Structure formats: structure tokens, C-alpha cells
């Protein structure tokens, strides 16, 4: 299986993190906002999805979820996270975690993260 606490947040870098109306409502409650304010602040229409998570810059993946802590490499709204995040990776395995585990074992470095800076 996988351990998300050892991952640099790969799933948070997906180009589309689709949200449901319920996800936006959950985020609104979490921040003490109304639905429309949360929708405007946290979402964007993208690729045919009425609600998708806004993104921000990240040194490792280019862009990530706006609620991702770039330094601690974890979610800042874990209790209010969207359904897509709650169910990840679904019935499968996290391919990035498999890759990361392999690289860390191969490099004999339990903290190794493959980036363009690693040569």
C-alpha cells in the first residue's frame, strides 16, 4: 500500500481536482464563508467541470492545489478536503508512492525526492 505522509504531494499537483457542490459547501463552512464567496475564492471552471480547485505555484510540480502547504508538503484543509482527495487513490494503488519507494530504496535515502535538481 502507500503512506501519504512520505509523499511530496503528487496527487495535489493534478491539473484537475474536480469538486462537487458539496465540496465547495464544506470548504465554505470550514472558512466561515458563504457558498458564493467560497466558490469565487477557491474554484475555477476548467475542462467542463463547473467547480475545480484553484492552483498555485510549486517548486517541485509546477502547480498544486491552493490549499497545499509547499514547505510541509501536506494539505492545510485536511478535515475539509474534497471528496476526490478523501477517496484517493480509489481501488488502486498510488503509482507515485510506488515510484518514490523504489527510488528511495535504490538511492539508499529515505528522504529522496526526484526533482530536476537531483543529478
pLDDT tens readout for residues 39-73 = 999 999 988 889 999 999 999 889 999 999 999 88
Report pLDDT for 21: 96
89 phi/psi in degrees, rounded to 5: -95, 25
Report pLDDT for 56: 95
Report pLDDT for 118: 42
What are the residue ranges spanned by the domains of the chain? 8-88
Positions in the chain whose pLDDT score sits under 50:
116-119
Contact 18/3 with Cβ under 8 angstroms?
no
Report pLDDT for 34: 97
Specify the pTM.
0.77
Report pLDDT for 66: 95
Q: Could you give the C-alpha distances from 114 to 45, 68, 104, in angstroms and in order?
A: 31, 19, 9
Phi-psi domain of 108 (left: phi exceeds 0; alpha: psi -120 through 50; beta: other): left
Amino acid at each position: 500500500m502507500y503512506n501519504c505522509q512520505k509523499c511530496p504531494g503528487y496527487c495535489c499537483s493534478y491539473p484537475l481536482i474536480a469538486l462537487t457542490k458539496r465540496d465547495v459547501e464544506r470548504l465554505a463552512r470550514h472558512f466561515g464563508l458563504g457558498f458564493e464567496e467560497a466558490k469565487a475564492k477557491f474554484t475555477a471552471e476548467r475542462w467542463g467541470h463547473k467547480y475545480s480547485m484553484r492552483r498555485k505555484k510549486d517548486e517541485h510540480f509546477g502547480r498544486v492545489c491552493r490549499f497545499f502547504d509547499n514547505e510541509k508538503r501536506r494539505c492545510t484543509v485536511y478535515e475539509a478536503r474534497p471528496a476526490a482527495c478523501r477517496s484517493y487513490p480509489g481501488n488502486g494503488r498510488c503509482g507515485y508512492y510506488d515510484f518514490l519507494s523504489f527510488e528511495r530504496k535504490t538511492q539508499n535515502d529515505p528522504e529522496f525526492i526526484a526533482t530536476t535538481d537531483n543529478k
